[in-house]
Amino acid sequence: MSDIQAQQVELTQEQNGKKFSYSNTYLKEFGVLGYLALQAVLYPIERIKVLQQVDIIPEVTDEAGKYDLRQNFQNYYNRHAESETFEAFYRGLGAKICKLITKELSIYFLADRIRDRIQVFDPKEDPFKHFVYNFISGVTSGTLTELIAYPMEVAKTRILCDGAPFEDRIYTNAYEALFKDSSARIYRGALFSLTGAALYRGTQIGLYETLNQLGMKDMSAWVHLPASILITIYAQKITYPFDTIRRQVMLRDTPFEVTSAETDTIIKRLTHPARRSDLMRGWNMQLYKSVSAGIFLFGYKALSGTFQAAPDLITKFSH
């Protein structure tokens, strides 16, 4: 190859890089807005899940013992029908959006920065060691972001448990949900939340990044999308019991508390062999959120150019 041809190739690569960068920035903005919009659409599903976790509405199964999706939605609708307002179905969404902006939109960026700092070896030489480093970056980023966003999670949980009409509500905003009852502490249940977040993010990010370095990054987007979703579902399912416990602990000393028992008693009751299935109440609804979280992981990695097909994929959708 002559010097002129080499310069032309280099110039073309530089132009493609800039084009990818511009498209990347452009799509990231719409990607964030799209994800927030998707979470708003799915919010009633999240509400049903939480209300089932804290025993406010029952989890209904059909005659065959399978989860009855239609009847569970009907029970949720009946609970809010008396208020006759659209707002009743989206109560607590403001706190949810604040949590998403604080937590979800920074988690993968932070994990990448942490991993870049601590990883100083060739991942292909030792995949297990690479997984450990990825797991550590996921645990660290998950714990830090959860610690910051936790008050909004508490506010959302307490607000959405109130099914009364607006004028009869106990908590009308996030501030009241956090500070109206001095005995209902803001960081109550945080230990379970931090533990669950650390294990969830460590597993999710650890598995995804390890598979990436083992060769998945050279595969097409059609491999990355299902992989992102399946990894996220697995990581959320194994840590879901922590979510159930923290929800019940969040409501202690509020009008919606599941029990007045101390935290250790709640844990013993939920983990009793006869009631261990209660730890997974609401999982069928959480599954929809897990899919959306997996899509978000895929979208973030695509926009970051993590896998080989990402630049072509972004260029295609930016026109």
pLDDT value of residue 138: 93
| Lookup: tokens for 130 | 């690479």
| Lookup: tokens for 116 | 């870049």
Per residue in 30-49, pLDDT (tens digit) is 777 888 888 888 998 998 89
User: Residues 6 or more apart from 68 whose CB is under 8 A from it?
Assistant: 60, 61, 62
- Which single residue is written with the structure tokens 């491999």? 223
Q: Please list, residue by residue across 149-177, b when 16 or more beta carbons sit within 10 angstroms of its beta carbon and e when fewer do.
A: bbbbbbbbbbbbbbbeeeeebbbeebeeb
Q: Which residues pair with 61 in a beta bridge?
A: 67
Structural Rg of the chain based on CA atoms: 22
pLDDT value of residue 65: 78
pLDDT value of residue 268: 72
User: Residues 6 or more apart from 123 whose CB is under 8 A from it?
Assistant: 130, 210, 213
CATH of range 51-317; options 3.90.340.10, 3.30.420.10, 1.50.40.10, 3.20.20.70: 1.50.40.10
Asked whether the beta carbons of 142 and 200 are under 8 A apart, the reply is: yes
pLDDT value of residue 170: 85
What are all long-range contacts of 96-99, with beta carbons under 8 Å and residues at least 24 apart?
Answer: 96/39, 96/43, 96/46, 96/152, 96/156, 97/36, 97/39, 97/40, 98/149, 98/152, 98/174, 99/149, 99/152, 99/153, 99/156
pTM value is 0.83
Cα–Cα distance measured from residue 113 to residue 110, given in angstroms and rounded to the nearest whole number? 5
* pLDDT mean for each 10 residues of the chain (319 residues): 48 46 56 83 90 87 84 79 64 90 85 79 70 91 94 93 77 87 81 94 94 83 92 97 91 79 66 74 93 91 67 48
| DSSP structure class, residue 208 | H
Cα–Cα distance measured from residue 46 to residue 236, given in angstroms and rounded to the nearest whole number? 14
Instruction: Give the SS3 label for residue 67.
Output: strand
Domain boundaries, the chain: 51-317
pLDDT value of residue 290: 95
Which amino acid is located at 288 in the chain? Y
